[in-house]
Amino acid sequence: MNKFKIKNFNFKRIKNIFIFLLLLYPSFSNQTKPNPNINQKDYFKKNLEWEIIQDKETTLKEKLIWSRESPERLFINELNDNKQSISSYLKIRSLGKALTVNNILYPEISNYVPNAYVQDKNKTLNLMLRGISKVRHCNSPNFQYSCLDGIMDIDFNLINTDKFSLNPKFTISSLSSRNSHRGSSKLGESSSIGFKAATSINPKTSFSFGGENLIYFDNRLDLGRNFYFMYSSYYPLNKKKEPSILFINAGIGSDFYGYKGNGFLARTKCFGTPNLTGDGENTCTWGPIGSVALAINSQFAIINEWFGYGYGSGISFRPFKEKPINFSFYATDFIRNFPKYNNDLCPNNSCDIRFYGGISFSY
């Protein structure tokens, strides 16, 4: 009987001690002890993505999933609470002539004019196919096979950091064998290499220096040896998670960019012959180039560009929201006798409207 009482006593005592320790544990636990240096409300507001789920939309089988939101993809609608500029939350990166904004794919903001943004390190290679409805000297209607032209650009990441990128670029300017019997280049000929070096000064300011078609693999290329210095900036127009943004590229370029009347700024060495503006010598003229693009959202943009050899107005769009595929379509030479220095390239010294555009893909 005494033995039984001792066992019973010990069991109750141990049970009470165990319960007491369980109740006392939260007071000493580091995981639940509040940190006086951290504002708990702000911490969770900035680091968790909150979503209101209506009762009628849930079932017993559904579970609430908590996810941590990266700093670059925070809800921009909260900026008013923090009294911070939207620009401090936007990270613009290049995918060739298209962009990413906070890792969200955005459309092309120019077609001929380079931009100055650092290349997106999440993509290794960019491919762009550009088609032209007819070359200027052709006296046939648009889209006739004998007058069509096109090029293919391939650039890839060689060096890429958060503030700097260096990208070699390979160009093939003959995508068909049209008129080859008349001396024109054959498929795969007229190839060259160039580069683009870009740096980010601050979230809104980027600069780049580069060159297109600098080294020819044959003497059949007629695109010019085109150096350029570019500045790029942007102006967000709202505070949505995928905001509307006005993009501006401005700079100077040589040869194709400094063509004829546009090449009034300077004349320098041209990295070789043949070229467009050297008149047989190793020199090129320089002129201003630029573009203005309004990205309505992450899938559609309206663009105007000036590239010396001409100008263009058009649109670019991404039909698949999660795919890095971009389509663009532009009109050029639609203002009669502008610029005047191009008239002698057109039949009867009068240029008619032409079209150009392309498809780009990144991976």
Q: pLDDT tens digits, residue range 148-172? A: 889 999 999 999 999 999 999 999 8
Q: Which CATH number fits domain 86-362: 2.40.50, 1.10.3470, 2.60.120, 2.40.160?
A: 2.40.160
Domain limits, the chain: 86-362
CA 88, chain centre distance (Å): 18
Which uninterrupted H or E stretch holds 47? helix 40-47
Rounded Cα distance between 10 and 6, Å, is 6
Q: What are phi and psi of 111, to 5 degrees?
A: -120, -45
With 80 as the cut, is the pLDDT of residue 112 above it?
Answer: yes
Confidence of residue 266 (pLDDT cuts 50, 70, 90): very high
Instruction: Tell me if 310 sits within 8 A of 109, measured CB to CB.
Output: no
Span 102-122, average pLDDT? 96
The amino acid occupying position 341 is Y
Instruction: Tell me if 76 sits within 8 A of 94, measured CB to CB.
Output: no
With 60 as the cut, is the pLDDT of residue 69 above it?
Answer: no
Instruction: Tell me if 140 sits within 8 A of 126, measured CB to CB.
Output: no
Q: pLDDT tens digits, residue range 281-340? A: 999 999 999 999 999 999 999 999 999 999 999 999 999 999 999 999 999 999 988 999
Task: Report pLDDT for 350.
Answer: 86
Q: pLDDT tens digits, residue range 100-111? A: 999 999 999 999
Span 354-359, average pLDDT? 97
Rounded Cα distance between 157 and 131, Å, is 25
Confidence of residue 221 (pLDDT cuts 50, 70, 90): confident
SS3 category, 89: helix
